[in-house]
Amino acid sequence: MAGELDGRVALVTGGSRGIGRATALRLAEMGATVAVNYNASAGPAEEVVSQITVAGGNGAAFAADVADPKAVEALIAAVVGKFGKLDILVNNAGIVRDNIMMRMSLDEWDAVFNTNLRSMFITCQAALRGMMRNRWGRIINLTSVVALSGNSGQANYVAAKAGVIGLSKSLAREYASRSITVNAIAPGYIDTDIVAAISENLQTEMIKQIPLGRIGKPEEVADAIAFLASERAAYITGQVLSVNGGMYM
């Protein structure tokens, strides 16, 4: 709802493309000031910010590789320095490095863990300090349907995304007394660059497993994230919200 997040400051990691982009735009539409983090995609991140400002909102782009702990600490400091606080943290940045276990390298394991899970340890720790002081906060962490179901060829990704669920539930318990909620969103197959890399045949096979019979849209995930960020979700914490067209129940 428009105006619902007036006065709130949000950070979306990996806000330059896909689900993060749709989330940044949705939060801004609801009134939040939005920090759009990116790593490689400076142009697309600036486009997201200009779309926000053209629509009358407020935001800025922030470069940082979330796999680099020092860069992440500097990112949170830069956001708080520019906008005065951080109320809503959406840990969205993520990568895949798929391989069957027998061929998976330690580098592929580490790259996925550092980007998809270790990054959240650092963003959450840094963001929680201010949220605790303000006695209000929303943390929304992107996991995946495969964290619930398992998936062959993705041992690194699935293990990291399952870790995201454990981290979210533990932080939910630790910080509930300060009115800080922590939830995870588990998308199914969503139409972004990650999925575009999958062959057409495999995509057709994947769609057959989805009761709603189609791939999801980034905006449909962004809506669920925006709901969890709002006051309407004040009594929801420690949950995993699936947005997957029914493909895993």
Ligand X SMILES: NC(=O)c1ccc[n+]([C@@H]2O[C@H](COP(=O)([O-])OP(=O)(O)OC[C@H]3O[C@@H](n4cnc5c(N)ncnc54)[C@H](OP(=O)(O)O)[C@@H]3O)[C@@H](O)[C@H]2O)c1
- Residues recognised as catalytic: 157
**Could you say which of 190, 222, 226, 247 contacts ligand X (CB under 6 A)?**
190
Q: How far is CA 24 from CA 72, 112, 220, 222, 235, in A?
A: 18, 23, 13, 8, 23
Query: Of the two residues 136 and 216, which places its CB atom closer to ligand X in the complex?
Result: 216
Here's the x/- map for ligand X, 107-146, by CB under 6 A: it reads as --------x--------------------------x-x--
In the block, tokens 């300090």 appear at 129
The interface with ligand X within residues 19-78 (CB under 6 A) comprises 19-20, 37-41, 65-67
Which of 34, 48, 92, 237 is in the footprint of ligand X by CB under 6 A?
Answer: 92
136 vs 189, beta carbon nearer ligand X: 189
Report the distance separating Cα 200 and Cα 139, nearest Å: 35
Nearer to ligand X (CB atom), residue 29 or residue 65: 65
Helix (H, G, I), strand (E, B) or coil at 90: strand
Torsion angle, CA of 249/170/32/243, rounded to 10 degrees? -10
- Which one, 115 or 183, has the nearer CB to ligand X? 115
Q: Which stretch binds ligand X (CB under 6 A): 13-21, 24-32, 169-177, 206-214?
A: 13-21
Q: How far apart are CA 146 and CA 136, in angstroms?
A: 31
The shares of helix, strand and coil residues in the chain, as percent rounded to the nearest 5, are: 50, 15, 30
Q: How far is CA 29 from CA 43, 44, 50, 120, 130, in A?
A: 21, 18, 13, 25, 24
Residue among 8, 9, 10, 17 that touches ligand X (CB under 6 A)? 17
Interface residues toward ligand X, by CB under 6 A:
13-14, 16-20, 37-41, 65-67, 92-95, 115, 142, 144, 187, 189-190, 192-195
